[in-house]
Chain A
Amino acid sequence: MANTTAFDQVPSGKKPTPFITWQRFVVYSVLGVCALFFLLPLYIMVITSLKSIQEIQGGNIFVPTMSPSFDAWEKAWNSACTGLYCEGIKVGFWNSVKITGPSTVVSIAVASVTGYSLANWPFKMSEFYFTVLLLGSFIPYVVMLYPLVIITRWMGIYSTLPAVVFVHTIFGLPILTLLFRNYFASLPQELFKAARVDGAGYWGIFFRVFVPMSVPIFTVAVILQITGIWNDFLFGVIYAGPTNYPMTVQLNNIVNSAMGGKAYNVDMAATILTGLVPLTIYFVSGKYFVRGIAAGAVKG
């Protein structure tokens, strides 16, 4: 090619690019500034909880303490006052465990079977139920709060642990059913047909074919429910009864029952302790958490 010589001044090989272009600079600046905004509260929460109350009153909210101490954490856990009692937030922690465990198990058990029925064994009006369930998930909770008080009273469980488990099962049902229905519908239908031809029935297919294949979606559901139920405030306050108040309610009581000046360090320690369980789950299970929250946005 004789006439290319004129263009050979353009070097071949990697395009000479500066180390960082201004577009890259803008991108990383925006991302970095936003990251700081999102990290700031976590940082302040932690350093405040390690300060003494004198340091808080005299010092700066951004400056970490020179002599960190876990006294506030100890106090928040063991002896902070939640209204009448001064037994710390550990009471709430154990209440939350008692609420979250059964609620997670029951709601997932009901929803996985329901999702399986809707996806693989449709019956008359099953699509109608699914639609109402989906629309129901958008009904403001307050609309159903009082009817549920009546229902749980009538069942004789109002203001007890079973009542709050019952309510969490109800309000977890739409999103979990959606999650399981879409997942089971995405499994190859040939598998379901093959199992039926092999003579497996409703429960046989569910337990021996589908459940073993569905560990990821059960993991997603468990994470979704544990974080969701642990973080609940409203249902705990209304249905659990004072002796069973979950950690979020106790935290609120600790912060609001300030006697003789606010103990910000204790408040922040209690706040961290309350957030610790969902945060740990979040950091350990990043991808599954994202899948869970995104499931609500994708309808099959």
Chain B
Amino acid sequence: MDRPNPFFRNKWSKAASLPMMLIVWVVFVCGTIWTVLFSFTNIKILPLFTPQQWMDGFVGFANYTRLFKTDRWMSCPGITKILTEDWEFKCAGALPNMVTYAVFSIVISVSLGFLLAVMMDQKIRAEGVFRTIYLYPFALSFVVTGHVWAWIMSPEYGLQHSIRQLGWESFTFDWIADRQMVMYAIVIAGIWQGTGFVMALMLAGLRGIDEDIWKAAKVDGIPAWRTYLQIVLPMMKPVLVTTFVIVTSGAVRIYDLVVATTDGGPGISSDVPSRYIYQNFSANLGQSLAASTVLLVTMAIVLIPWIRMEFGKKSQA
């Protein structure tokens, strides 16, 4: 009997994986490359895929320089005065808004999520009830979350109005209508939705730790809080890295939540990159693609620790 043609080995497996292979190549690989390549052109109408078109429209980094000169994308008035006395670090625009959202939502939801997980780990009663309460927002759409919080935070009839009505006349909570504070209003809605998820991941991480470690620490006379901070937390590094990557990639993608909560307002003070990119698809495609590429690079940087963790340990073992 002849050796069968290796091309037909596992033929059903290969055939069944064909949709996945097509998606990987056509959408993930080619789609991404297309976006990056055409971010260097000034094409306006729907392009085909010919190299000729790309060469005709090639403009180098023009889209990028124009993008970063656009106030709506990013404006940092103080940064031009760098190294002078009145230098200040204050940026506005879609990209800085995303960074603000990412930093605050990560810090708050991870620390609050860890705190809740530790509390949940204290052999409490009704653990299931608490977990259900913390996690239900995560089952909701960002659009739902956004509209609820927009209503609660609306200065006209919402929280501010109601507290004032109860007698605290000077109470002020109008972040959602304040150009300086509006991103923090969105952060509140974001952590309401996402903290339960972080808590669930952290709790799973805590429960995955060898029980003997706790016993050993007790015999060693280490106080519980030190055990959490100095032994358990470092052991949860993989969970922390994964959580960080998932929460950050969500923050980089942020779109629906902003559309629902403020629709970028007041004015464009809570605009975010995805919204900027989507709105410029028709009028300013080249710049949109350049902005997409910026997000892609941002995400790649965020992914580095995760990639090192996931793929590094394989080569070690």
Q: How large is the interface on A (under 10, 10 to 19, 20 to 34, 35 or more residues)?
A: 35 or more
Whether B144 contacts A275 by the Cβ 8 Å rule is yes
> Does A202 lie within 8 Å of B12, measured CB to CB?
yes
Q: Give Cα A145 to B28, complex, Å.
A: 11
Q: A133-B20, A139-B296, A173-B20 are in contact. Are A61 and B136 (CB under 8 A)?
A: no
Pick from A31, A56, A147, A201: contact of B116, CB below 8 A.
A31
Of A27, A118, A132, A142, which one neighbours B124 at CB under 8 angstroms? A27
Pair B148/A271 contact, Cβ less than 8 Å: yes
Q: Is the CB of B24 within 8 A of A27?
A: no
Q: Are B157 and A140 in contact (CB under 8 A)?
A: no
Q: Quick check: is A22 within 8 A (CB to CB) of the other chain?
A: no
- A238–B278 CA distance with the chains assembled, in angstroms: 9
Q: Are B147 and A251 in contact, with the CB atoms below 8 A?
A: yes
B108 in the interface (beta carbon within 8 A): no
Cross-interface CB contact of A140 among B16, B165, B204, B296, cutoff 8 Å: B296
Which listed residue (B20, B130, B141) contacts A31, Cβ 8 A? B130
Please tell me if A192 contacts chain B, counting CB pairs below 8 Å. Answer: no
Q: Is the CB of B16 within 8 A of A114?
A: yes
Give bound CA distance, A148 to B26, whole Å: 10
Bound: A120/B83 CA distance, A: 60
- Asked whether A61 and B157 contact (CB < 8 A) given A123-B10, A264-B151, the answer is yes
Q: Contact at A136–B243, with CB atoms within 8 Å?
A: no
Q: Is B140 an interface residue (CB 8 A)?
A: yes
Q: Whole-angstrom distance between the alpha carbons of A24 and B28 in the complex?
A: 50
Task: Indicate if A150 sits at the interface (CB-CB under 8 A).
Answer: yes
Residues of B within 8 Å of A116, CB to CB, are 16
Determine the residue in chain B with the shortest Cβ distance to A281: B139
Q: For the complex formed, measure the closest distance between the CB of B37 and the CB atoms of chain A, giving whole angstroms.
A: 11
A256 nearest CB neighbor, chain B only: B263
**A44 CB, min distance to chain B CBs, angstroms:** 6
Majority secondary structure, B binding face: helix
B303 touches A (CB below 8 Å):
yes
Q: In the complex where A38-B192, A290-B135 touch, is A144 in contact with B35 (Cβ < 8 A)?
A: yes
Given A129-B20, A140-B292, does the pair A297, B246 have CB atoms closer than 8 Å? yes
Binary flags per residue of B194-234, CB closer than 8 Å to A gives 1, else 0: 00110011001000000000000000000000000000000
Compute how far the CA of A121 lies from the CA of B14 in the bound complex, rounded to whole angstroms: 9
Q: Are A56 and B157 in contact (CB under 8 A)?
A: yes
Interface 0/1 of B65-77, CB less than 8 Å to A: 0000000000000
Partner of B303 from the list A60, A138, A227 (CB cut-off 8 Å) is A138
Inter-chain contact B239/A297, CB cutoff 8 Å? yes
Per the bound structure, the CA–CA distance linking A136 and B12 in Å amounts to 25
Contact B132 A286 (CB under 8 A): yes
The answer to the question of A141 belonging to the interface, with a C-beta cut-off of 8 Å to chain B, is yes
Question: Known contacts A202-B16, A290-B200: does B28 contact A233 (CB below 8 Å)?
Answer: no
**A198 CB to nearest B CB, Å:** 17
Q: Is A258 an interface residue (CB 8 A)?
A: no
Q: Using a CB-CB cutoff of 8 Å, which residues 94-134 of chain B contact chain A?
A: 112, 115-116, 119-120, 122, 124, 128, 130-134
A143 with B20: CB separation less than 8 A: no
B137 contacts chain A at the CB level, 8 A cutoff = yes
Give the residue name and chain of the A residue nearest to B116 (CB). Answer: A34
- The answer to whether B303 touches A233, judged by C-beta atoms less than 8 angstroms apart, is no
- Tell me which of A114, A139, A289 contacts B299 (CB under 8 A): A139
Within 8 A of B (CB), among A227-285: 227, 230-234, 238, 248-249, 251-252, 255-256, 264, 267-268, 271, 274-275, 278-279, 281-283
In the complex, which residue of chain B has the Cβ closest to the Cβ of A177? B20
Known: A35-B133, A48-B151, A60-B166. A282 touches B139 (CB 8 A): yes
For the complex, is B149 an interface residue (Cβ under 8 Å from A)? yes
- Nearest CB on B from A277, distance (A): 10
Distance between Cα atoms of A197 and B29 in the complex (Å): 39
CB within 8 Å for A143 and B147 given contacts A132-B24, A282-B139, A297-B246 = no
Across the interface, A282 reaches (CB within 8 A) one of B29, B136, B239, B259, namely B136
Mark B residues whose CB is within 8 Å of A: 9-10, 12-14, 16-17, 19-21, 23-24, 26-32, 34-35, 46, 112, 115-116, 119-120, 122, 124, 128, 130-145, 147-152, 157-159, 161-162, 165-166, 192, 196-197, 200-201, 204, 239, 242-243, 245-246, 249, 252-253, 255-256, 259-260, 263, 273-274, 277-278, 281, 285, 288-289, 291-293, 295-296, 299, 303, 307, 310-311
By Cβ-Cβ distance, the 9 closest A-B pairs, closest first, are: A121-B13, A231-B141, A147-B31, A202-B12, A136-B28, A282-B139, A233-B256, A61-B162, A117-B13
A31-B116, A248-B144 given. 15 additional CB < 8 A pairs?
A27-B122, A31-B124, A38-B192, A38-B196, A41-B137, A133-B28, A139-B296, A140-B295, A141-B274, A142-B292, A153-B46, A201-B12, A231-B141, A248-B143, A289-B139
